[in-house]
Structure 1
Amino acid sequence: MTPGKMEICQPLKRQAILLFMVIATVLCLLGTGRYYEQKDRYQHVIFKGHPKTPNINFIFYTVKTSKKFYDSRLDVVLKTWFQKVKNNVFFISDEGDKEYDKRTGHRLVSTNCPTTHARADLCCKLDYEFSLLATQQASRWWCHFDDDDYVNVRNLEKLLRKYDWRKPWYIGRRTVDSYKARINGTKYPYQFAHGGSGFCMTTVLAKQMTPWIGEGKFMQTCEDFHLTDDCAVGFIVTHLLNVSLTESVLFHSHWERLKNLTEETLHEQISLSYKNHNRISLSKDKAKFDEKQDPTRLLSFHCLIYPKDKLCL
């Protein structure tokens, strides 16, 4: 390249770099502004109109969902276990919906996170969950579930009351014994509770995670560790904070064969799930709804443990 061309290219290169930095800064500010706008909005909702009951602040629930699953999954949750803890649950989604926002009591959080199962997209939603948790200063436990989970809230509360909420506890179910995170060529062992079956932790423990999660930090954490959302939570807790996973076999996801759960023990479980034909089995004489009305079988299961609910009459 001739000296004359070099003199022309260098200013253009500097201008291009400057333009890129300006655009990146503007996008970052827009994203941050949208995040804090959402956070402020829902912080107001969280403290509004809660009934005065002894257990209202015991567990704060967040449920990950997506607009494409509102009719097939979220509808089931809203008809069943949500009714038992409706003031304690927020739904973290990628897009809003007027009907479902009303049905959730305006607890449907539209994050603008992408809709895929890419690592950054999943971590985006969990970061919102954690940031909402930060506004729940009176809550003792945080429990995360997916929109295809049924939660037996009585059994969950019974389990958590066995543990001291003033200490760091991380409770859930593993899919394998242990994992290793590969970071900068080094492998680090850790364990994690599978998000698909749900997990819980004390808010005491959650506060210890703030260097890595909340207010937008978790997406970068996931990228740095090369881990998805529930794996990254497990890595932070069990490796970085050195808090062991307390496993409970009462949490279930669609990754296991759900038909292996006997009908006699279903009422003892904490979480149940489904995917296509992988679902719990109920005899016809005990099922309130047929399979066409209730393809997940969770409406009928809810009626077994809450037969006097409006849904079941």
Structure 2
Amino acid sequence: MKMRWKHLCALFSIFFLILIVLKLVPDKEWFQPKNSFTDERIAVFVRTSTQTAKTRLPLLLQTWIGSSNRSVIVTSPGHVDHKNSTHVSFVQSNCFSKNRRLNQCCQLAFSLSYSIREFPTAFWTCHFDDDSFVNTGQLKTYLSQFSHLTDYYIGRNSLATPSSVINKEDKRQHYFYFATGGAGLCLSRPLLMKLKSFVDPGQYISQCDQTGLSDDVLLGYLLSKEVGVRLTITNRLHSHLEDLSAMKRELLQKQITLSYNLNYENKVSLPNMWNIDDSTGFKRLTCLIYGVGVSQSCESTTHKLV
């Protein structure tokens, strides 16, 4: 009888322990199958402006946005003339400022706060500029390696050495790495929620103004100092701050983002075997990665490029 009672007590103890563990789990996605990580679990934001939207947005719609067939949120300060697209949602941030740096601070904060409100089921929020080519397949594959229940700040470090900001209160320097916005950055949902009180656009602009920091630097500073999260660095995100022409062709398909700068003739180097008018390299990238372009007919010739 005593043995039965001990067994019953042990079973009840295990049962209550399981209930406690499930209660502590912050997200029910914990016990969902791995294939629950779909494209909809990544909120992809692209920042544009009234000055660059006319030239850059049509190119994105013709290339990676149209070919990837996934939803993208494009934010701009004001109204942007555009053709209807099933893959794009246009949202006005109303971030008008004569100061370009403060305007960009407002735009980044708007995207993050908008994602908090409108995409509660997204595992990740990723932010890119309108001169970025995003390989969404590689983005999904890369992010699937990380737990979306953990605090993750993912991007490409802009500098080889950490940046520093002097704390006004104790006059001590705080060192941190930040993800350069030109290459793109991603935040997991739990980390994004911890930023909720910091990314109100008005408050974020004020902090940018007080510190003199740019939008991406301030984000890295807040995540490091206020939240205690370090940057997870990946070398698969690229901006035009680096020499894109030096990248090996056989590695292009494995990159998450690529960019261009027409002023300095900085772009990925691909042979124009498709005979495409392509000053940025994005159309040829679309042919390389997707095998076909939205506005151009191109055959997949990946084997000829290595």
Query: Do Structure 1 and Structure 2 share a fold, with TM-score over 0.5?
Result: yes
Kindly indicate whether residue 107 of structure 2 is the aligned counterpart of residue 125 of structure 1: yes
**Deviation at 1:159?**
0.6
- Counterpart selection for 2:142 from 143, 146, 159: 159
**TM-superposition CA deviations, 1:145-199 (whole Å, max 9, x none):** 0000000111111110000000001111012121001342442211100000001
- Counterpart selection for 1:301 from 267, 281, 285: 285
Contact 1:258 / 1:279 at 8 angstroms: preserved in 2?
yes
Matched residue, 1:239: 225
**Deviation at 1:77?**
1.2
| Amino acid corresponding to residue 263 of structure 1 in structure 2 | R
Matched residue, 2:182: 196
1:66-85 equivalences under 5 Å are: 66-83=49-66
Identify if the C-alpha distance between structure 1 residues 311 and 158 changes in structure 2 by more than 3 Å, giving closer, same or farther: same
Matched residue, 1:92: 75
Q: Write the distance in 1 (CA, Å) between the matches of 2:239 and 2:112.
A: 22
Contact 1:289 / 1:300 at 8 angstroms: preserved in 2?
no
Once the two structures are aligned, what percentage of the paired residues are identical?
Answer: 28
- Counterpart selection for 1:257 from 237, 240, 243: 243
Name stretches of at least 5 consecutive residues in structure 1 with no aligned partner.
1-52
- Counterpart selection for 1:144 from 114, 127, 131: 127
Q: Write the distance in 1 (CA, Å) between the matches of 2:141 and 2:72.
A: 18
**Residue correspondences, number:** 256
Aligned to 2:207, the other structure's residue is in SS state helix
**TM-superposition CA deviations, 1:107-157 (whole Å, max 9, x none):** 222223236563321111112101210121000001000000000111111
Matched residue, 2:151: 168
Matched residue, 1:113: 95
Q: Write the distance in 2 (CA, Å) between the matches of 1:104 and 1:304.
A: 24
Q: Write the distance in 2 (CA, Å) between the matches of 1:76 and 1:115.
A: 26
Aligned to 1:216, the other structure's residue is in SS state helix
Q: Write the distance in 2 (CA, Å) between the matches of 1:299 and 1:248.
A: 25
Aligned to 2:280, the other structure's residue is in SS state coil
Aligned to 1:120, the other structure's residue is in SS state helix
Identify if the C-alpha distance between structure 1 residues 294 and 115 changes in structure 2 by more than 3 Å, giving closer, same or farther: farther
**Deviation at 1:215?**
5.2
Q: Write the distance in 1 (CA, Å) between the matches of 2:143 and 2:289.
A: 20
Identify if the C-alpha distance between structure 1 residues 86 and 304 changes in structure 2 by more than 3 Å, giving closer, same or farther: closer
Aligned to 1:67, the other structure's residue is in SS state coil
| Amino acid corresponding to residue 90 of structure 2 in structure 1 | L
Name stretches of at least 5 consecutive residues in structure 2 with no aligned partner.
1-35, 298-306
**Deviation at 1:86?**
5.6
Matched residue, 2:7: none
Matched residue, 1:40: none
Contact 1:62 / 1:92 at 8 angstroms: preserved in 2?
yes
Answer with 300-309 or 197-206: which moved more: 300-309
Contact 1:78 / 1:104 at 8 angstroms: preserved in 2?
no
Identify if the C-alpha distance between structure 1 residues 85 and 215 changes in structure 2 by more than 3 Å, giving closer, same or farther: farther
Query: Given the two structures, how large is their TM-score scaled by the length of structure 2?
Result: 0.78
Aligned to 1:189, the other structure's residue is in SS state strand
Aligned to 2:178, the other structure's residue is in SS state coil
Answer with 177-186 or 74-83: which moved more: 177-186
Aligned to 2:40, the other structure's residue is in SS state coil
Aligned to 1:107, the other structure's residue is in SS state strand
Contact 1:190 / 1:238 at 8 angstroms: preserved in 2?
yes
Identify if the C-alpha distance between structure 1 residues 106 and 115 changes in structure 2 by more than 3 Å, giving closer, same or farther: farther
Aligned to 2:175, the other structure's residue is in SS state strand
Q: Write the distance in 1 (CA, Å) between the matches of 2:235 and 2:214.
A: 22
Aligned to 2:52, the other structure's residue is in SS state helix
Q: Write the distance in 2 (CA, Å) between the matches of 1:86 and 1:124.
A: 28
Matched residue, 1:37: none
**Deviation at 1:72?**
2.0
Query: Given the two structures, how large is their TM-score scaled by the length of structure 1?
Result: 0.76
Contact 2:63 / 2:294 at 8 angstroms: preserved in 1?
no
Q: Write the distance in 2 (CA, Å) between the matches of 1:216 and 1:226.
A: 15
Q: Write the distance in 2 (CA, Å) between the matches of 1:103 and 1:174.
A: 33
